Amino acid sequence: MVDKQGEGARGQPATSAWSVPAGRRTDEWSKCVVRIAEHSDRAAFAKFFSHFAPLIKAFALSGSSLSAAHADELVQEVMLKVWQKAAGFNPEKAAASTWVYTIARNCRTDMFRRLQKFDTQLEAEDVGFELEGDEPTMALHASRGAVRVRELMSDLPQDQAQILAKVYMEGKSHSETAAELGLPLGTVKSRVRLAIQKLQVFMDAGSEE
């Protein structure tokens, strides 16, 4: 997923997602964010940084979508937003990891925009949708989904996993993905739908299409 192994992937056996229960991890990082919000706790911020900054950098470098210098800039921007937005985080409504992922995703889109990819002066937050978690079961379903998704991820055929990685980690549209892989757009679309079905992302999924 990260093709910059040369940058130095570090061995952190304890952070292997497969061995640590998602619930406990979520709890730990959520507590950090709450302490940042309530006490401007720099120690909690340092702890949060040491875990998430390397993941944000990995996200930034996925598919070489950003240079190493821009990746570092992105890490700084995202962590500053974590500090700034911590008060808006509600641990009952979302996992801290999902919260920081959406910040990283928005910051990267804004950086793509600044770096040439788009012309319109708009920020990702202008056109995005901030889930309030107002539906009572939403966070529960989403986090339960994440546990199940991890179990199913390893069985996903390589061609589907590769496309999901391009779409999520590299931030590529379906048509960019199709062009890069030399596949028809329709094939990319149907592989994405198959992957979503296999991962049972939609828990109480009614109709898929």
Partner 1 sequence: MVNHHPDTNTLLEFAASSLPAAQSVVVSTHLQFCSECRQRLAQLESLGATMFEDAEPVDINPSLFDNVLARLDEVQDDRAANDANASTMSWTVKQIRKGNLDELQWKKVTRSLRIADLGDIDGAAEFSLYHIAEGGSIPQHNHSGTEMTLVLQGGFSDESGSYHAGDFITREAGDIHAPTALPGGDCICLAVLESPLRFTRWHHRWLSPLLQLRAG
For 106, 132, 133, the CA distances from 129, given in Å and listed in that order, are 11, 9, 11
With binding defined as CB under 8 A, does residue 181 bind partner 1? no
**The tokens 């030399």 sit on which residue?**
182
- Binding mask 77-116 toward partner 1 (x if CB under 8 A, else -) reads --xx--xx----------x-xx--xx-xxx-xx-------
Toward partner 1, which CB reaches closer, 34 or 97?
97
**Binders of partner 1 in range 5-34 (CB under 8 A):** 5, 7-10, 12, 15, 17, 25
- Distance, in Å, from the CA atom of 109 to the CA atom of 144, rounded to the nearest integer, reads 28
Among 31, 41, 156, 168, binds partner 1 (CB under 8 A): 168
With binding defined as CB under 8 A, does residue 135 bind partner 1? yes
Question: What tokens does 63 get?
Answer: 């598919």
Residues 6+ apart with CB under 8 A from 128: 106
Among 129, 155, 158, 182, binds partner 1 (CB under 8 A): 129
